Amino acid sequence: MKASAFAYARATSLANALELLATHGDKAKVLSGGQSLIPAMNLRLVSPELIVDIGDLGELRGIAVKGETLVIGALTRHADLLKSSHIVKCAPLLAAAVAHVAHPAIRNRGTIGGSLAQADPASELPACMLALGATIVVRGKGGERRIAAEEFFTGIYETKLGPQDLLVAIEVPVASPGSAHFFQEFARRHGDYAIVGLAAQVMRQGDRFADLRLGFFAVGDTPVLAKAAAAMLTGAAITPELLAEASAALASELNPHEDQQATPAMRRHLARVLLARCLATLLNRPDLQTGAGV
């Protein structure tokens, strides 16, 4: 189908974009890379009266390291993330995840800010933000707000962004030496939205985890930081029995949906498989993958 008619405004500055949003509120939609918004408009799932195109706002584009923080502009495209040496060095989890986001032609247009604002619970980057402990930087009528990723995602396609807000940047703590990551997802086809996925950022201490952040996605209305499972696995010697207990805790932390791809039971099972693979990979313990945990 074709999108219904709308008015179009090309924002000339950040201030101009915020003015347009302040005036038009929820009648307007922000156009960034358009790789989620335009399909939704073509399917007539959304019919905004006004499109505010922020594509020309160069100040929202780019990746920089400021001290211990990696700052990613909202308009930074997936393709830019994939090619960035800053990302590989400071947030390798993100580099691993972006390779799973859609296909080359989509990654050439889609932006990190757009993906986070869209907040599709089956998409990769929101879960990465949870695992990385990122901060989402938002400008609105009242000035700038900084929202922890854990607070930002509130429901299916829902975030703390109000109709007059613009997501301007993402701040990610630079990965500390000795940290490690794991990213894997189940999808019917490479580049599809996940059936279930896991983005994990950890600190190891010998054969244990000093810190473990497990960001699951496609397991409910929002990406989920599996805190109960992580708490059980932090600081402890990882045995197959402990993994089994943590897996049980994980299953009760998730609230997956049924759709044409999988039942909730299948999604819980796949999440447990990913947890076992994550631990086995990061601790180099193949025994954990065949243990009772799965």
Interface with another protein (CB under 8 A) = 1-10, 31, 34-35, 38-39, 42-43, 50-51, 53, 55, 79, 102-106, 108-109, 189-191
Q: How far is the CB of 217 from another protein (least distance, A)?
A: 20
What residues are paired with 166 via a beta bridge? 139
Between 108 and 179, CB nearer to another protein: 108
Between 4 and 154, CB nearer to another protein: 4
Between 117 and 243, CB nearer to another protein: 117
Q: How far is the CB of 62 from another protein (least distance, A)?
A: 17
Q: How far is the CB of 119 from another protein (least distance, A)?
A: 18
Between 53 and 150, CB nearer to another protein: 53
Between 141 and 190, CB nearer to another protein: 190
Between 88 and 106, CB nearer to another protein: 106
Q: How far is the CB of 50 from another protein (least distance, A)?
A: 7
Between 34 and 163, CB nearer to another protein: 34
What's the full length of the chain, in residues? 294
Q: How far is the CB of 2 from another protein (least distance, A)?
A: 7
Q: How far is the CB of 27 from another protein (least distance, A)?
A: 12
Q: How far is the CB of 41 from another protein (least distance, A)?
A: 8
Burial of 66: CB neighbours in 10 Å, binned 0-12, 13-18, 19+: exposed
